[in-house]
Amino acid sequence: MTRVALPTAAMRDRLQSWMPRADISVWSAADDALPCPEVDLLVFPYMAPLSLLSRIPAHSVSVIQAQTLGFDGAAEYLASGITFCNAVGVHESSTGELALALILAAQRGIPDAVRDAATGTWAHRRRPGLAGQRVLVIGAGGVGKEVTRRLAPFGAKVIVVARTPRAGVRGLDELPVLLSGADIVVLAVPLTAETHHLADDTFLDRMRDGALLVNISRGAVVDTDALTERVRAGAVRAALDVTDPEPLPAQHPLWSLPGAIITPHLGGDTDAMDGHIDRLIVEQVRRLDEGLPPLHAVIRA
Amino acid sequence: MTRVALPTAAMRDRLQSWMPRADISVWSAADDALPCPEVDLLVFPYMAPLSLLSRIPAHSVSVIQAQTLGFDGAAEYLASGITFCNAVGVHESSTGELALALILAAQRGIPDAVRDAATGTWAHRRRPGLAGQRVLVIGAGGVGKEVTRRLAPFGAKVIVVARTPRAGVRGLDELPVLLSGADIVVLAVPLTAETHHLADDTFLDRMRDGALLVNISRGAVVDTDALTERVRAGAVRAALDVTDPEPLPAQHPLWSLPGAIITPHLGGDTDAMDGHIDRLIVEQVRRLDEGLPPLHAVIRA
């Protein structure tokens, strides 16, 4: 009988009829009143800081299933004898959806319309739109693909860039030239040592005047101070679902700049999420039952 | 030599090298200092009230080319001997684009994010998203098709309704049942006697609790008082690019309701518009040169 720890009673209620052979307990790493149970699979709470992984003792849990795709920093907190799996297939589509929401809102003036509503102001003016714009998607993984797929019917000119050039994907070495030709730049890379502050002074200075930077990956892929300075100057517009730090402090100057749209890390969190994460957990339990290795194991501590 | 009157010098500057055989003058119906020139083709100014059509004397102009798709009320002001053409192919794609901008903004909480930015508030909460939602598109003409085409990669369940049922299009007689099963309803019909106040009390009461009504057609397709009442009560959300009246008066209660997004009739007005209208005008001039009837003649007064 596979022992499973789920972080919420709501998740247990959704899942128990789908895992009749599992022994399910409810334990959240965010709850320090109870000790971590010894289980085969532990589902880590959604949006909890990865530092809480340190509450899970070595060898007490065989596999941890995260509910996020990004796992930068997880290795630091993971005790030995534990395999850590990220949530591949759970958030890519809704993050791609949010990228389009941010791009279209910025290109069609939705934030101005919301601000104008406060004073009952009907202020028609031409907007750039998305059709015909040159969009550079940086990252060709799951999220990058979902962004690109949704851009297709809008008549934009889309170029995808990634570390490894291949058919339909240009290499990162071409980034300097491609940046200077893009109206919209979408960051869809994982946060790694290599992508930390990818959008730095040099990157941002290569962007066209008034171009839009969309970040749906992780805040630290952008040098926030460098970006803030350019948004304030009107050189670059920004649409950010992730910031550095996160949450963005109430006093941060980015909040008040009309050229910035900031959403509070909503990327994966839609009504579609429960179905995606549930399917992944059921599949992982089935694999453990059958003695198969778990899917998406990204760290083995 | 075909005589053409264009409403702005900017349009003349864009078009003159494309129409070397045309005799181009600049005259806007909105300018009452000069009389209307006698021409073969007159391009009516964009976003001008159709009542200005009455400044164009009978038989002075052979063909009027409007820059809008909608032409409700034009017949009332049109003098005899004039053919009126609407701007088919000019705005459908950008109006479809705006429909997606409004849907995604509403479903992913962009207006809340913009309002929260004013106080530097990072307020994460789950949003419905678009994936898996049931979307009812009312209208299967040019705009309806552009909306539907852009919805395709988002994984929503889309049903199209129009007057004449056909393959892939349900009939208006099914509207009562379909309305009650939709999470998002998009109005993409022309304003006619038949569609005036289509979204009335009965229609709105059939919508699901919290469903989103998107209007990208004409304001009077919706009974604005009936809608305002339901948005205020939280029964329905609204995303409106068109209102009745237009502009929406500064004191109108819709402006202050968080469940409403109002954009100032931006549907067709993007950077992509000039290319579309220019192509249509050049084609109409070519047809007049060759003695062919103009395209998209919708009224012959």
- Report the pLDDT value the prediction gives residue B144, as an integer from 0 to 100: 98
Which pLDDT band holds residue B1 (cuts at 50, 70, 90)? confident
Out of B120, B127, B264, name the one closest to residue A250 (CB): B120
CA distance A275 to A11: 11
Do B261 and A114 count as a contact with CB atoms less than 8 A apart?
yes
Task: Give the H/E segment covering residue B160.
Answer: strand B157-162
Do A270 and B154 count as a contact with CB atoms less than 8 A apart?
no
Do B127 and A249 count as a contact with CB atoms less than 8 A apart?
no
CA distance A206 to A204: 5
- Report the pLDDT value the prediction gives residue A283, as an integer from 0 to 100: 97
- The burial of A202, by beta-carbon neighbours within 10 Å (0-12 exposed, 13-18 middle, 19 or more buried), is given as exposed
- Average pLDDT on B25-35 reads 91
Task: Assess contact for A89 and A142: CB atoms under 8 A.
Answer: yes
Out of B117, B125, B271, name the one closest to residue A126 (CB): B271
* Terminal Cα-to-Cα distance of chain A (whole angstroms): 24
- Report the pLDDT value the prediction gives residue B57, as an integer from 0 to 100: 95
- Report the pLDDT value the prediction gives residue A236, as an integer from 0 to 100: 98
Verify whether residue B197 is a known catalytic residue.
no
**Can you tell me the ipTM of this complex?**
0.96
One-letter amino acid at A240 equals L
- Report the pLDDT value the prediction gives residue A169, as an integer from 0 to 100: 97
Do A273 and B93 count as a contact with CB atoms less than 8 A apart?
no
pLDDT < 50 positions in chain A? none
Verify whether residue B246 is a known catalytic residue.
yes
Verify whether residue A218 is a known catalytic residue.
yes
Do B271 and A113 count as a contact with CB atoms less than 8 A apart?
no
- B220 is written with which tokens? 């009077």
The pLDDT tens digits for A269-278 are 999 999 999 9
Task: Assess contact for A273 and A267: CB atoms under 8 A.
Answer: no
Residues of chain B positioned with their CB less than 8 A from the CB of A240: none
Residues of chain B positioned with their CB less than 8 A from the CB of A121: 250
The pLDDT tens digits for B263-293 are 999 999 999 999 999 999 999 999 999 999 9
The nearest CA of chain A is from the CA of B182 a distance in Å of: 16
- Report the pLDDT value the prediction gives residue B33, as an integer from 0 to 100: 87
- Average pLDDT on B231-238 reads 98
- Report the pLDDT value the prediction gives residue B31, as an integer from 0 to 100: 84
- Report the pLDDT value the prediction gives residue A300, as an integer from 0 to 100: 94
- The burial of B179, by beta-carbon neighbours within 10 Å (0-12 exposed, 13-18 middle, 19 or more buried), is given as buried
* Cβ-based contacts under 8 A for chains A and B: 187
Sign of CA pseudo-dihedral A19, A20, A23, A24: positive
- Report the pLDDT value the prediction gives residue B32, as an integer from 0 to 100: 83
The dihedral region occupied by A296, where left means phi > 0, alpha psi between -120 and 50, and beta the remainder, is: left
Q: Is the pLDDT of residue B301 over 90?
A: no
* Terminal Cα-to-Cα distance of chain B (whole angstroms): 24
CA distance B174 to A172: 52
